[in-house]
Structure 1
């Protein structure tokens, strides 16, 4: 029987060392050996009693991009995979696009209930394959126009209005807490300026 492990990145902004945590289900915190920062261990599953009270739609991803037509995707509890439309390698949310730098699927946005009972949104590059192995995207996943792509260890907490770039296409996260409805979320994104686009990729 394999020992449960969790990959995280140290939350100390001056450190950011990758950590491999053994038996994370037995811990509340993981001490970084490089800097000593105590990293909280996230909850893996939402409490059933809270989850049963939630609406079906827990947030939205809305394309806000100069090149791609606006499309809206409803986020559900659990792992939401996002990528280029494909019948052979389908994602939970498939983008109709000519973006040749976007993988199929490209990234995973997990929605869950945190330890305080609030809805959490976590972003990772890549997605789980049918055989259970994780496959990373060819060109990486970027957040809020930052040049540094998400590493294989990154699992980032997102906030309302964060801009995710996959390929050269950008999507805005709108959360249930701040937008309440898909109509309001769409209007809020329409009023936003276009985010910075990271460029310089290779064709998958």
Structure 2
């Protein structure tokens, strides 16, 4: 099964690509917004969706670590690389200021739910600071909700929850180079 994203509302349409030949053109009508759009079966010039990019948390190549989004009824497993500085985490929505989006239809995740700041401590080691958005449903670390404006230092393997979604921080091993 393949998914295509509506260019107007970013909704997904799933279809069985095995029923069509390479090079064949298909026309879709988005059930959410009614937009009609076409695709051609075969190679695409666009980047792969996160679902197809990185499925194994040990295969990512990023010097600042990654977030492992655990698969549940709202979405598939995702590995999202982190960048140095603020990583604004939230539900993917076209045009939002979220720079670390999760592709999900979980309504309990805000568009800008929480933030992980990646910095270096005095010894040059990576430091991860988690804070809530503020969000409507809160950000939980070790089953404790983060308070308003509270910041929590998290480490490799820390499990935190936003909405109905659990996420694990995967930090690179100290001294490991990923170039």
Which structure: larger Rg? 2
Segments of 5+ residues of structure 1 without an aligned counterpart are 1-54, 127-135, 183-204
* TM-score, structure 2 normalization: 0.60
Q: Name the CA shift for 1:178/1:115 in 2 (closer, same or farther; >3 Å).
A: closer
CA RMSD of aligned residues (A): 2.2
Give yes or no for the alignment of 1:149 onto 2:145: yes
Whichever structure has more strand as a proportion of its residues is: 2
1:105 maps onto 2:103 in alignment? no
Give per-residue Cα distances to partners, 1:124-154, cap 9 Å, x unaligned. Answer: 001xxxxxxxxx111100113x1x3101131
Measured after TM superposition, the shift of residue 177 of structure 1 is 2.0
2:82 is the alignment partner of 1:75: yes
**Higher helix fraction (1 or 2):** 1
Large movers: runs of 4+ above 3 Å: 178-182
CA offset at residue 116 of structure 1?
Answer: 1.9
CA, structure 1 residues 64+117, in 2 after alignment: closer, same or farther (shift >3 Å)?
same
Match of 1:176 among 166, 172, 175: 172
Mean Cα displacement is larger for which, 84-93 or 94-103? 84-93
- TM-score, length of structure 1 as denominator length: 0.53
